[in-house]
Amino acid sequence: MAIRNDHVQIVVKSNSPWASPPFATSHHRRPRRQLLQPTRNVAKKICAQFGTSASQRTDKQLRSLSTKENRFGDSMTAGQEFEAELRTETTTIMFADVVESVRLIEQDELENVKRIQSMLRQLALDVIRHCEGTVSERRGDGLVVRFSSPRDAARCSLRMHACCQSHTSTDNQALKLRIGINTADVLLDDHGIYGREVNVAARLAALASDGGTVVSISVFDQLTPGIDGHLRDLGECYLKHVREPVRAFSLSDSNREVSQIAVRDRTTPQVHPDAASVVELLTSLAVLPFEPYDAYARDRLDIGDILSDQITAMMSRSASLNVVSRLSTQAYRGRSFEMSSVQERLGAHYVVSGRFLERGDRVIVNVELARCRTGQMLWAERFEAGRDAVLVADSELVGGIVSGISDAIRSIAVFDSAHSPMPNVPSYTLYLAAITLLHRFSKSDFASAQQILLTLHERAPKHVGPLAWLARWHVFKVVQGWTHDVSRESMHAKSLSERALELNPESSLALTIAGSVETQLLKNFANAKKHFAKALANTPSDSLAWLLSGNLDSFSGNGPLAVEKTARATRLSPLDPWSFFFKTISASASLSAGRNEEALRDARASCDLNRLHPSTLRVRAIAAELLGEHTEARESVNALRVLLPMYTVERFLQSASGANDALVAKFSSALVSAGLPRHISNAQMN
């Protein structure tokens, strides 16, 4: 807007994806005295200029548009639009950009601009809105979109890519998007979204392939592989204008059927032999009976009670959660309550609640997770399924709800531990955060995990958990190749595991970790076998004990038994948050049993979820070489040597000492064929 003597020149530019032509500009010359009294004719002109005829607008809409023009003049005159108050929010940001739009416009400007316009209009009005997204800005031919949930953003990105396929030109050339998604704290005002994290989303989009999506670790932590899509770890990536590398994952549509979820037939939480000490550090969760939207629905079969029972049964199998018995939570059925009462009466840190609506043979379920201490809602999601799915413990509905709750609790724990002074963070939050960070296998997260565990041990010196996981930390340090003194790390691990067992000789966790120390570091397979046997006798449902016991059988050359045990571990924890680790151990078991196709399949799946784990790359290289997939084998060896530049066959033989001789010879030969140097000197020469 410019003032010229007694007249005002108003220039209105469109940033709408459905403006015609794109970036349309409208000029209006008005007497200065009429600046604050815009007429209906000006409103009509603006509507027509930006793609909507005046006849399509109601009088109310035209008056609204005129009012907005009036406010625009007022605010710009006073400079208020640039003084909007900034606020901070945790949100999920999507940046979507049209691939090679400049080249397309060069080829046929009018036709391709219309195609891009049409596609962006459909994405904004149909796809994004349906997925609970809000378009914050349009940047050229890109969109900045906000979501309250990373899962909504992931779902939306897959639908956006599918939508693009319908916008195909006469020469069969489809429009494609690159999409980046990031969840973080951002700065907002009434006019836009700002800050480093928006730039991260845009830079992640630049990493994506044509028609692809790349997400950050904060988004990945809240997604469930196989259900929310196929996820593949891209490692730590350096982004333009971002100082530190960012852990990134590609997201694509999963064509594989979601594996069925197996749970035990019980509704009470798992009781550990050392329950008195475990509860002190475990996150406590209460699942309240789900309520119907229809008041009279209580007279029929109570789907809400059944669904909450199914969720309680599955959640109670987690070794890192203490789930309140349904016998206690039933007291809250049909009652209004304060969150503080749930914490006071049930001792819960978090509460899950929900409401459902029956529509014929379908049921719609809205689930919420809240923090008891503050009443703050931390996660919410809508699910829909056939009515029969409520009655089946291994249904996709129950599994989806459980995985959503688990992912949210873990993400909250990691966030709280990173953004609050450690003395102010509850022990149960630190404990869950430490275990999560320990399994990410990045050096910074690994160091943070040790510091948190040491703090927890100071707070609770008689608790088994911190000592056991500290022992496991030293095992991982050796496995990851982050030490030159294996003997020293082995002694630390042994000492810590023994101290944990002294505190509670019956603890399944302490026995399992002690078994892993004996297997992987001390090579005392007889002692390891005793520890695992006792752990499973005490807690037959301990998935980690079954998994690491299977790993021992892989070392010993008992492949069929190793496969049986690792498969049982996976059945006990089908949506385990560290599923990549389960898949790696399962791949090793299959390899020792001569089931190379299964080994390669599981190793590939593990690499997709975490490519910073050397053991996974080693197993993948061996399996690929044995199957004649020589290119993949060499690529795996190269990736392994990026993580461990001095890794050789000689070091492999040292780490495999005590294992089955025939298997060691077979695997070392495969590694040599795949290009792994035999000795340090060869590695240095290469």
* pLDDT single digits (tens) 641-671: 999 998 999 999 988 888 889 999 999 999 9
Looking up tokens 């530190």 gives: 244
* The pLDDT of residue 533: 96
Residue 575, C-beta contacts closer than 8 angstroms, at least 6 positions apart: 224, 261, 399, 402, 403, 406
CA distance 96 to 110: 22
Residue 17, C-beta contacts closer than 8 angstroms, at least 6 positions apart: 117, 120, 121, 123, 124, 138, 143
CA distance 412 to 372: 14
State both tokens at 398.
């129950």
Rounded to two decimals, the pTM is 0.71
Q: Name the 3-class secondary structure at 135.
A: strand
User: What fold does the segment set 423-533 form as a domain?
Assistant: 1.25.40
Q: Is the CATH code 3.40.50.300 the one for domain 87-252?
A: no
For residue 681, count CB atoms less than 10 angstroms from its CB and return exposed for 0-12, middle for 13-18, buried for 19 or more. exposed
Q: Is the dihedral of CA 531, 536, 542, 543 positive or negative?
A: positive
Residue 268, C-beta contacts closer than 8 angstroms, at least 6 positions apart: 316, 325, 326, 327
Q: What is the 3-state secondary structure (H, E, C) of 336-397?
A: CCCHHHHHHHHCCCEEEEEEEEEECCEEEEEEEEEECCCCCEEEEEEEEEEHHHHHCCCCHH
Q: Is the dihedral of CA 342, 345, 346, 347 positive or negative?
A: positive
Answer whether 286's CB lies under 8 Å from 350's CB.
yes
Q: Does 21 sit behind a cis peptide bond, omega within 30 degrees of 0 on the bond before it?
A: yes
* The pLDDT of residue 67: 41
Q: pLDDT of 318-346, one tens digit each?
A: 777 888 887 778 777 776 677 777 887 78
Domain definitions of the chain by residue range: 2-82, 87-252, 275-419, 423-533
CA distance 635 to 604: 12
DSSP string, 162-183: HHHTT-B-TTS-B--EEEEEEE
* Helix 630-643 vs helix 614-626: crossing angle, to nearest 10: 160
Neighbours of 127 (CB within 10 A): 20
Residue 92, C-beta contacts closer than 8 angstroms, at least 6 positions apart: 146, 147, 148, 149, 150, 152, 153, 181, 182, 183, 219
Neighbours of 237 (CB within 10 A): 16
Q: Name the 3-class secondary structure at 616.
A: helix
DSSP state of 21: S
CA distance 280 to 322: 10
Q: How far is CA 636 from CA 535, 630, 633, 683, in A?
A: 35, 10, 5, 16
Please report, as a single letter, which amino acid is at residue 542: D
* The pLDDT of residue 647: 92
Q: Name the 3-class secondary structure at 410.
A: helix
* The pLDDT of residue 63: 40
* The pLDDT of residue 84: 64
Q: What is the 3-state secondary structure (H, E, C) of 481-535?
A: CCCCCHHHHHHHHHHHHHHHHHHCCCCHHHHHHHHHHHHHHHCCHHHHHHHHHHH
Please report, as a single letter, which amino acid is at residue 622: I
* The pLDDT of residue 265: 31
Neighbours of 327 (CB within 10 A): 9
CA distance 552 to 571: 19
Please report, as a single letter, which amino acid is at residue 149: S
User: What fold does the segment set 275-419 form as a domain?
Assistant: Rossmann fold (3.40.50)
CA distance 35 to 668: 83
Beta strand pairing call for 377-386 and 291-292: unpaired
State both tokens at 375.
């009443």
- Closest C-alpha among 449, 495, 494, 455 to residue 473: 449
Per the DSSP assignment, residues forming a β-bridge with 566 are: none
Q: Name the 3-class secondary structure at 112.
A: helix
Neighbours of 406 (CB within 10 A): 20
Q: Is the dihedral of CA 234, 238, 240, 243 positive or negative?
A: positive
CA distance 103 to 79: 39
CA distance 665 to 496: 33
Q: E strands within 14-102?
A: 25-31, 87-98
Listed as ranges, residues in the chain with pLDDT below 70 are: 1-84, 106-107, 168-172, 255-280, 295-301, 335-336, 393, 574-575, 681-686
State both tokens at 104.
């397309």
* The pLDDT of residue 532: 97
Rg (CA), the chain: 29
What number of H helices and E strands is found in the chain?
Answer: 28, 17
Q: How far is CA 611 from CA 112, 243, 308, 554, 672, in A?
A: 39, 22, 36, 22, 21
Per the DSSP assignment, residues forming a β-bridge with 482 are: none
CA distance 327 to 331: 8
Answer whether 615's CB lies under 8 Å from 582's CB.
no
Residue 228, C-beta contacts closer than 8 angstroms, at least 6 positions apart: 151, 154, 155, 251
CA distance 312 to 322: 10
DSSP state of 223: -
Q: Name the 3-class secondary structure at 131.
A: coil
Task: Write 495-500 long-range contacts (CB < 8 A, 24+).
Answer: 496/467, 496/468, 496/470, 496/471, 497/467, 497/468, 497/471, 499/467, 500/464, 500/467, 500/468, 500/471
Per the DSSP assignment, residues forming a β-bridge with 371 are: 350
State both tokens at 536.
């499973």
* The pLDDT of residue 45: 46
